[in-house]
A = this chain, B = another copy of it.
Amino acid sequence: MTLHPSPLPAEPHDGPEPLGPVNSALVPRFAGPATFARLPRLDQVRRADVGIVGVPFDAGVSYRPGARFGPAAVREASRLLRPYNPAQDLSPFQAAQVVDAGDIACNPFDIGEAIGTVQSTVAQVAARCDRVVTIGGDHTIALPLLREARERFGEPLALIHFDAHLDTWDTYFGAAYTHGTPFRRAHEEGLLAEGACAHVGTRGPLYGRIDLDEDARMGFGIVTSDDFQSRTVDDVAEELVRRVGDRPVYVSVDIDVLDPAHAPGTGTPEAGGLTSRELLGVLRRLAAAQIVGADVVEVAPAYDHAQLTAVAAGHVVYELVTVLAGKVADTR
C-alpha cells in the first residue's frame, strides 16, 4: 500500500531468495500497512515456509475481554522489528520465506462455530505455509490449533505452555470450551504427548489443590514463576528441552505469563510474573527442541499502555519465527 518508491503490486513472488520486509531505510516504519514486521502478505508469494496468522476472537474469556483486537495491536507494534536476530544469530526472513497470512474471521457469537472455523482455516494456511505461528485472540483457540497440528503431524504433540494459569480447568458456567480449558480438552482428545508437556510461569491463586493434582495426573510438569528466583534461564530451558525430547513441539504463550508490569494489556493479570527478558531468554533457548508450531495469545490492547504488551508479544513472535526459520535453514 506504500506508494513510494514502488507503488505498484508485483506478481506473486517466486524467486530463489525469500521476499523480505519493506526496507525501513527508504520507507519509514510508520508508513504503509502493518503486516507483521512489515513482511509480505501470503498472497504476494507462491508459497511460504512460515506463515503468521491472526485469530481475532475473544468470546471465550472469563474476565476482561478485548483480545479480539490483539492481532491488529501486535502487528502495529511489530513495525519496529528489524530483520536480523542477534540473539539467535540469524536473519529469519532471509533464512526462510516468512509471510503474514492475515486473519481468520470467526463468529464472535458462537464459540463452537468459531473453534471449527479456526481449525479448518488454519489447515488451509498450513497447506501454503509449512509452519504457522498464530496471534490470538484468547486461549480458547489453542484447542483447534492443536487439533489441526495433531492431524497434520500425525502424532500427539509435546507442549511448552507459558502462562500464569494452568488452563486445564474443566468447565465454567457449564461451558467446556473457554480460555481456561483448552489443555484439558487437548489432553482428553489425545492431542498431547504423554509426559512431554509443561507449564512455565504459573503463579497466583487456584480454585483448590485438586487443580494441581488433576493437572499432574494429566502429566504436565510445572516451572513456576517463583522458580525463576532461584533458577537460571539456561537451567529452565534445558529442563524443558529434555522434557519434550525429539517429539514435535507446540509452544503456546499466554502473554499473561509476563508480570503485569511487562504486560498490562491482558485479561487476567496475576502479580509476580516473568520479565520479558526471562521469557525471551527461555524461548530462544528452545531452538534446541523440535518446535513445529506456536501461538501467542491474550493480548488485550484496551488495557495496554504505550504498546508495552504488544511490543513484548511482537518480540515473542519474532523469536518463535526465528526458531522456525532456523529449522528451515538447517534443512536446506
Question: Which one, A54-62, A146-154, A189-197, A244-252, is touching chain B?
Answer: A54-62
Report yes or no: A58 in contact with B68, Cβ–Cβ below 8 A: no
- Assuming A28-B62, A59-B59, is B81 touching A308 (CB within 8 A)? no
The 5 A-B pairs at the shortest CB distance, nearest first, are namely: A1-B102, A9-B43, A65-B65, A82-B205, A264-B306
Judged by DSSP, the binding face of A is: loop
Chain B residues with CB under 8 Å of A158's CB are: none
Chain B residues with CB under 8 Å of A7's CB are: 102, 121, 124
- Assuming A28-B108, A311-B260, is B84 touching A206 (CB within 8 A)? yes
Report yes or no: B259 in contact with A102, Cβ–Cβ below 8 A: no
Chain B residues with CB under 8 Å of A207's CB are: 82-84
Report yes or no: A62 in contact with B29, Cβ–Cβ below 8 A: yes
CB distance from A326 to the nearest CB of B (A): 14
Q: How far is the CA of A2 from the CA of B100 in the complex (A)?
A: 10
Report yes or no: A125 in contact with B3, Cβ–Cβ below 8 A: yes
Q: Which residue of B lies closest to A67 (CB)?
A: B65
Report yes or no: B302 in contact with A305, Cβ–Cβ below 8 A: no
CB distance from A295 to the nearest CB of B (A): 16
Report yes or no: A305 in contact with B264, Cβ–Cβ below 8 A: yes
Footprint of B on A, CB under 8 Å?
1-5, 7-9, 24-35, 41-43, 53-54, 56, 58-66, 68-69, 71-72, 76, 79-87, 89, 91, 100-111, 117, 121, 124-125, 171-175, 178, 203-209, 211-212, 225-226, 228-230, 232-234, 259-262, 264-265, 268-273, 275-278, 280-281, 302-308, 311-312, 314-316, 318
Q: How far is the CA of A86 from the CA of B124 in the complex (A)?
A: 39
Sample of 13 further A-B pairs with CB below 8 A, known A80-B269, A82-B204: A2-B105, A3-B53, A27-B105, A28-B56, A31-B56, A34-B34, A84-B209, A84-B211, A108-B173, A203-B277, A259-B275, A262-B271, A305-B306
